[in-house]
Amino acid sequence: MASIMDYILWRGDLPLRVSPLSPADMLILSQLAYTDPGPEARSSEGAVLRELLFPASAPGTPADSWLELARSAAASLRYGSMRLHDYVNVVDPERDIQFSAVTASLPDGRSCVCFRGTDNTLVGWREDFTMAFESPVPAQMEALTYLERISLRTGGGILLTGHSKGGNLAVYAAARASAAAQAQIQSVYTFDGPGVDDETFLSDGYRRIGSRIHSFIPQSSVIGLLLAYHPDYTVVRSGAEGFRQHDAFTWQLIGPRFEELSEVDAGSRLINETVHEWLRTVSPQQRRTFVNTLFDVLEASGASTLRDLKADRVRSALGMIAAGRELDGETLRMMGYLVGSFLTIGMGNLWDAILHKPRQLLQTATHYLESTQEE
């Protein structure tokens, strides 16, 4: 089996005029959005991909895979002549926003807008969780503004792509775009990106753009089946287990195409049913209280990224915030459960552990609650 890195090595010497863009190419461009292409790419003119240095990846995230992909793509004939421009990166705790995007000008005159998914910052994850009770979130408004701006300067057609939250931003922006911008959109690619709110999903804009949305999810998808997800999706085989399938570098290809499966697995369906049942039975205000309390705990520990979380500081913050708020026993128990999950396994493997290690997580949650009460 082959990965997207293998695809770049195998397909990199074929220019786009010989072998047109495929879904695998769009996934690669979505991963390119996780890197910082440097100051040259911030202007509207930008710079050719092969001339960029890519000094860093998204804040707080492992750099190696994305930097290797960016540099391999830059060295290839297939991607190297693309011009990257209009790079933006906004991480602002005051506004609860984590947003980043870059546009690639393709050799055939089209523009590909690439939205970054969630990085490792707590403000980024808080914004993701906020989608459960609020829309639009700040990143969605930024994505819409960004798309409209790019649409005013291009006449060759627009493609949108994004992985994880980036996929949500691509779909949201396309659905809410003006008629003039929508007329230029040829395709929207979302790779295991969460769905949108019900109002957007049922809007005329979504209906007009729906046939141009291409959704891809791995067989154990959780993120890609949240909220109102696109009903017509392709299931891709991943070489990883559980939540680690969210990592696009684990997705498998056969030649130029993804290895497709007929449906998601039983674990993914169970999580999908459970989460959607929770969303149906809990009011938006209850979701707001839960999410805000959870992230107030994490941020009160002094952490700004998931890597910064320290057990003793988070436990102390949990006790302080729980003592100052009226939280029922079930809410406090769930809070301890999730806080313990963040600390024990990190956000990257949270759903994997929920599927495979529920007893361990419950013990962790109990430990933190008991320790907090003792103090």
| pLDDT at position 45 over 80 | yes
Q: At what angle do helices 329-345 and 358-374 cross, to 10 degrees?
A: 110
Q: 330 or 142: which carries more pLDDT confidence?
A: 142
CB neighbours of residue 330 within 10 Å: 8
Residue pair 342/294 in contact (Cβ under 8 Å)? The answer is: no
Strands 158-163 and 47-48, sheet pairing? unpaired
Assign 233 a pLDDT band (cuts: 50, 70, 90).
Answer: very high
Report the pLDDT value the prediction gives residue 269, as an integer from 0 to 100: 77
One-letter identity of residue 212: R
Lowest mean pLDDT of 144-148, 158-162, 320-324, name the range.
320-324
Q: Provide the sign of the torsion angle of the four alpha carbons 288, 292, 294, 295, taken in this order.
A: positive
Query: For 46-60, 111-125, 212-226, 325-339, which range has the lowest pLDDT when averaged over its residues?
Result: 325-339
The three-class DSSP label of residue 302 is coil
What is the reported pLDDT for 296? 79
Our CA dihedral for 333, 265, 230, 141, rounded to 10 degrees, sits at 40
Measured over the CA atoms of residue 330, residue 351, residue 66 and residue 47, the dihedral's sign is: negative
Q: Are strands 233-236 and 213-218 parallel, antiparallel or unpaired?
A: parallel
DSSP letter string, 82-116: PEEEEEEEEEETTTTEEEEEEEEE-TTS-EEEEE-
Q: Which residues pair with 162 in a beta bridge?
A: 115, 190
User: Residue 68 belongs to what H/E stretch?
Assistant: helix 64-75
Window from 45-49, 97-101, 200-204 with minimum mean pLDDT? 97-101
Helix or strand or coil: residue 196? strand
pLDDT at 34 over 80: yes
pLDDT tens for residues 263-311?
988 777 776 776 666 667 667 777 777 777 777 777 777 777 766 766 6
Those residues whose C-beta lies under 8 Å from the C-beta of residue 101, and which sit 6 or more positions away, are 33, 86, 87, 88, 113, 114, 115, 116, 142, 143, 146, 169
Confidence of residue 318 (pLDDT cuts 50, 70, 90): low
Q: What is the pTM of this model?
A: 0.81
**String of b and e for 244-275 (b: at least 16 CB within 10 Å)?**
bbbbbbbbbbeeeebbebeebeebbeebbeeb
pLDDT of residue 319: 62
pLDDT (mean) for 48-59: 75
- DSSP reduced 3-state for 4: helix
Instruction: Tell me the mean pLDDT in the region 248-267.
Output: 91
Which pLDDT does position 300 carry in this prediction?
76
pLDDT at residue 50 tops 50:
yes
Is the confidence at residue 194, as pLDDT, over 70? yes
Check residue 283 and give its pLDDT.
75
Spatial separation of the C-alpha atoms in residues 132 and 253, rounded to whole Å: 33
Q: Which of 175-184, 204-213, 323-332 has the lowest mean pLDDT?
A: 323-332
Least confident segment among 33-37, 87-91, 120-124: 120-124
Question: Tokens at residue 360, please?
Answer: 């361990």
pLDDT of residue 240: 87
Mean pLDDT along residues 124-135: 75
Helix (H, G, I), strand (E, B) or coil at 148: helix
Angle, CA of 212, 162 and 50, to the nearest 5°: 110
Q: How is residue 2 annotated by DSSP?
A: B
**334: helix, strand or coil:** helix
What domains are defined for the chain? 4-265 (3.40.50), 282-374 (no CATH)
Share of the chain above pLDDT 90, in %: 49
Q: Give the pLDDT of residue 362.
A: 43
What percent of the chain stands above pLDDT 70? 75
Least-confidence region, from 96-110, 119-133, 347-361 = 347-361
Look over the chain and give the mean of its residue pLDDT values, rounded to a whole number.
Answer: 82
Query: What Å distances lie between residue 147 and 21, 93, 112, 184, 212, CA to CA?
Result: 21, 23, 10, 11, 16
Residue 314: which pLDDT band, with cuts at 50, 70 and 90?
Answer: low
How far, in Å, CA of 265 to CA of 107, rounded? 39
For the cut 90, the answer to whether the pLDDT of residue 63 exceeds it is no
